[in-house]
Amino acid sequence: MAQGNVLVGQSGGPTSVINSSLAGVVDASIKSKGIGRVFGMRFGIEGVLNDFLIDLGSESTDVLKGLRSTPGSALGSSRLKLKDEHFPAVLKQLKKYNIRYYFMIGGNDTMDTIHRVTKYANENGHEMLGVGVPKTVDNDLHGTDHTPGYPSAARYVALSVLQAGVLARDMQKVDQFVIFQSIGRSAGWLPAAAAYGRQASDSAPHLLLLPERSFDRDAFLTAVAKAHKNHGFVSIVCGEGITNADGTPVSVSETRDKFGNIEFGAMGGTSAAMMLHRLISDEFGWRGEFQVTESLPMCAADRGVKLDFDEAFACGQQAVKLATKGHGGVMVTMNRLNKPGEKYQMAFGTISLSEVANHERPMPNHFISKDGFGVTKAFLDYLQPLVGPLPTYARLAAKRAKA
C-alpha cells in the first residue's frame, strides 16, 4: 500500500460515544508512520460529494481530547443513500486527496457503504483499504458482543424507567399506568435494558414488549390487568418497532424513510406507546402517561458509561491498526472472553463488511422470558458489566399508623 491519507466519517444516528471512536481514529492515524494527513467528511458521504473535508490533523490537542467525552456527531452525519451514479464523483475526490485509508463509524448501512466505495475504487485503479468502526445504540450489529454506544444508551433507559417507575408507584392514585417507548427498530436490546433497573419484585418495569415477539392484544391486556392488581399500577416498556402477528406495526405508521424503513415516533406521526395508551384507556378506563424518548439516549453523555467511552476510543484505534497492517474489508468487533460471573474481559476481532451489512442481530431466545414480557437472568448477567451499578432509592416502610 502506497503512503497516503486517511478519510473518516460518521453516519446514521449518533451515540453518546461516537466522537470517542472518531478521536481514536485520529489519534492512531496521527501516530502512524504510514499515514500522511487525516481528513474528516463533513456530513458523511455528502462531504465527499460536495468537496467539504475537514483537516482533522490541524485541530488542537485539547479539542481532540475533548471529543472523547462529547456527545453528538462532531463531523456531522448523513442518511444519504449512496447510488451507483455517485461513485465516479466519490472516486474523483478520493484521488484528489490521495485517500488510501477509509474509515466509517456506523451501523449496517454504513458497513455496506464502506464495502461498496472501496470495491469501486480498487476496481478502478485506486488502491484503498476500508475498515468499519461499529456504532449503534440498538446493539443489533452482527458479529460483535456489543456495540459502542449501547452500554450508555442502556444505562439511560434503565435509569429513566427506574426513576419514572418510582414516580408512577407514588402517583398510582392519579395515573394507573405509564408506558416508556424506546428506540430500536427490530431488536429489543434497548427496551430490555429497562429490566436492569428493577430493584424489587413490584418495581418497574412490569411488562416488556420486544420486537422479537409479536404483539398479542389479549395476552397483553390480561398481563396488564394482573400487574395492576398485584402492584396498584403498571409500568410498561415497549420497543418502537413492535409488530402484530401479521407484521403490521403496532404504531400503525405507514411513513417510510429513504431506505424504505417504516418511520416510528415523531417522524411517523404516531407511536406504539400512543396506541398502547389508547388501548389500555379504552379497555380499563384508566388515566395514564406515555413517554417517547426519540434521540435522547443517543446523546446523553451525562449518563454515559466510562467503559463505553474507553471501548469506543479503542475501536477507533484498532481500525487504524488493522488498515495499516493491510487488513481491509472488515469491521472491528468486540468479543467477550469471560464467562458469566467472572470479571469482564474483551478482545478485538474482525468480521467482513459484507456479512455485517446483510445481517441483523436480534436478542437470542435465551435472553427473553417464556411469556415474552420480560428477560432472563442470562440477559441481566450479559448487561451488568456493560452498564455498571445503578443508584438505590429510599422507600418508606409505609406502616399504617394506629391511634
Structure confidence by residue, pLDDT tens digits, 44-71:
999 999 999 999 999 999 999 999 999 9
398 falls within a domain = no
Q: Which three cell numbers stand for residue 115?
A: 464495502
- Number of domains the chain is built from: 2
75-86 average pLDDT score? 90
| CATH code: domain of residue 156 | 3.40.50.460
Catalytic residues: 138
Nearest of 287, 284, 259, 256 to residue 269 by alpha carbon: 256
Residues 269 and 367 in one domain: yes
pLDDT recorded at residue 106 = 95
Structure confidence by residue, pLDDT tens digits, 251-270:
875 555 555 555 555 555 67
Residue 385: partners with Cβ closer than 8 Å, 6 or more residues away: 307, 344
pLDDT recorded at residue 387 = 97
Residues 133 and 68 in one domain: yes
Can you tell me the distance from the alpha carbon of 261 to that of 13, in angstroms, rounded to the nearest whole number? 14
The pTM score is 0.94
275-280 average pLDDT score? 96
Residues 82 and 224 in one domain: no
Residues 226 and 293 in one domain: yes
Structure confidence by residue, pLDDT tens digits, 205-229:
999 999 999 999 999 999 999 999 9
Contacts 24+ apart (CB under 8 A), 249-252: 250/209, 250/215, 250/275, 250/276, 251/275
Task: Check if the beta carbon of residue 154 is closer than 8 Å to that of residue 385.
Answer: no
pLDDT confidence tier of residue 15, bands split at 50, 70 and 90: very high
Tell me if the bond preceding 297 is cis, omega within 30° of 0. no
Task: Check if the beta carbon of residue 233 is closer than 8 Å to that of residue 172.
Answer: yes
pLDDT recorded at residue 28 = 98
What mean pLDDT, rounded, does the chain reach?
94
Task: Check if the beta carbon of residue 129 is closer than 8 Å to that of residue 100.
Answer: yes
Residues 211 and 260 in one domain: yes
Using a pLDDT cut of 70, give the percent of the chain over it: 95
Predicted confidence (pLDDT) at residue 276 exceeds the cutoff of 60: yes
